[in-house]
Amino acid sequence: MASLLASRLSRRVGRAVPIHSTIQTTADTTQLQDSAHETEPFLPELDVKVTKNELLEMYRQMQTMRRMEMAADALYKAKMIRGFCHLAIGQEAVSVGLEHGITKNDKVITSYRCHPLAVLRGGTIKGVIGELLGRQAGMSRGKGGSMHIFTPSFFGGNGIVGAQVPLGAGIAFAQKYNEEDTCTFAMYGRRSSNTQYFTRGDKIPGLQVNGMDIIAVKQGVEYARKWTVDDKKGPLLLEFVTYRYGGHSMSDPGTTYRTREEVQRMRSTQDPIRGLQRYIEEWGLASEQELKQIDKDAKSTVDEAVEEAKASPIPDIKDLWTDIYFAGTEPPFMRGREKEEVHYY
């Protein structure tokens, strides 16, 4: 039986905030200005119980997800990946922590920075890398790239900034309509929330979570799920205060709007993997050598998946016309790029 561990989160890890607030965030602190709305405090329980096996699995998954994103980085620089490629190196606590706070029947939808979530929600590393390489082994058979990766409980991978949020609301409405005891997490970032439409949700309660601490993320997600599914209190906004090490995409070095010193400071003081490693070592759950073996295994897993994806063939030209419509709902014909290019079903 796995041993049960208890930990108390810092009060800075999670706090209830009215969303109509001015939030000032630095690397170390978050301060809220005067708010336009009064809210009652509803902080989640700060005493957290986790098992040794769960913490070690979190560590393994975070290391594996980072290795996968690093592999994608290398493949892009080698010109084997073309087009768009958005990585989430530094944000592993959000994806892995989310997965450990929800159930397999819950749904997740996000934008194009989606590779770890796609794997954690039932996909494979080979499938993600194969999709980025444009190979038949890809999760969308090499025809979609990052913006078109799906599983039965993961709805993308969406190419339009913020467009996944109303889609997520639709998925959640279907869950409510069908009286399912499940919920949907619609993930989006800062650039999705800087339009006037976003202010229509000002009175939705929110919770701010340290997105660089995986235990805090897990606890915040579990609280949000209980709020929505068990207590039936409606939607809840979660803000994960996290930090991406790379630029917006592979074509953006990320050095024009922040300094290299800032990135290095975050890597050395706030890294989510290193933070979990400290928990594990301080609590005597694994030795340094055991953690190094997990790191080695993660690298081997990713390396093997990359080689298998690279060995997969590119899609056949006939596959251009497949997977567009659900089987049996195809139109009589489909036009291609040119006027004379027509495919009849």
The predicted-structure confidence for 288-327, as pLDDT tens digits, reads as follows: 999 999 999 999 999 999 999 999 999 998 898 899 898 8
| pLDDT value, residue 5 | 65
pLDDT of 13 higher than 50: no
- The percent of residues above 70 in pLDDT, for the chain, comes to 87
| pLDDT value, residue 46 | 81
pLDDT of 20 higher than 70: no
pLDDT of 107 higher than 70: yes
Cα(106)–Cα(182) distance, integer angstroms: 5
pLDDT of 100 higher than 80: yes
| pLDDT value, residue 198 | 66
Nearest to 92 by CA among 118, 117, 128, 123: 117
Where do the structural domains in the chain lie, given as residue ranges? Answer: 4-314, 317-345
Compute φ and ψ for 282, nearest 5 degrees: -65, -35
| pLDDT value, residue 22 | 35
| pLDDT value, residue 44 | 77
| pLDDT value, residue 33 | 41
Q: How confident is the prediction for the chain on average, in pLDDT? A: 88
Is residue 201 within 8 A of residue 166, CB to CB? The reply is no
What mean pLDDT comes out for the span 268-284? 96
Is residue 171 within 8 A of residue 107, CB to CB? The reply is yes
| pLDDT value, residue 31 | 41
pLDDT of 245 higher than 80: yes
Give the model's confidence band at 194: pLDDT under 50 very low, under 70 low, under 90 confident, else very high. confident
| pLDDT value, residue 35 | 38
| Least confident segment among 108-112, 132-136, 196-200, 293-297 | 196-200
Give the model's confidence band at 30: pLDDT under 50 very low, under 70 low, under 90 confident, else very high. very low
Q: How many CB atoms lie under 10 A from the CB of residue 336?
A: 11
Task: Specify the residue for token string 């205060």.
Answer: 241
The three state secondary structure string of the chain is CCCEEEEECCCCCEEEEECCCCEEECCCCEEECCCCCCCCCCCCCCEEEEEHHHHHHHHHHHHHHHHHHHHHHHHHHCCCCCCCCCCCCCCHHHHHHHHHHCCCCCEEECCCCCHHHHHHCCCCHHHHHHHHHCCCCCCCCCCCCHHHCCECCECCCCCCCCCHHHHHHHHHHHHHHCCCCCCEEECCCHHHCCCHHHHHHCCCEEEEEECCCHHHHHHHHHHHHHHHHHCCCCCCEEEEECCCCCCCCCCCCCCCCCCHHHHHHHHHHHCHHHHHHHHHHHCCCCCHHHHHHHHHHHHHHHHHHHHHHHHCCCCCHHHHHCCCCCCCCCCCEEECCCCCCEEEC
What mean pLDDT comes out for the span 205-219? 94
| pLDDT value, residue 106 | 98
What mean pLDDT comes out for the span 62-67? 99
Higher confidence at residue 326 or residue 130? 130
Give the model's confidence band at 8: pLDDT under 50 very low, under 70 low, under 90 confident, else very high. low
Give the model's confidence band at 38: pLDDT under 50 very low, under 70 low, under 90 confident, else very high. very low
Q: How many CB atoms lie under 10 A from the CB of residue 268?
A: 9
What mean pLDDT comes out for the span 273-277? 97
CATH number of 4-314: 3.40.50.970
What mean pLDDT comes out for the span 98-114? 97
Q: How far is CA 39 from CA 20, 43, 139, 199, in A?
A: 11, 11, 44, 17
Give the model's confidence band at 6: pLDDT under 50 very low, under 70 low, under 90 confident, else very high. low
User: Which of 72-81, 200-209, 317-326 shows the highest mean pLDDT?
Assistant: 72-81
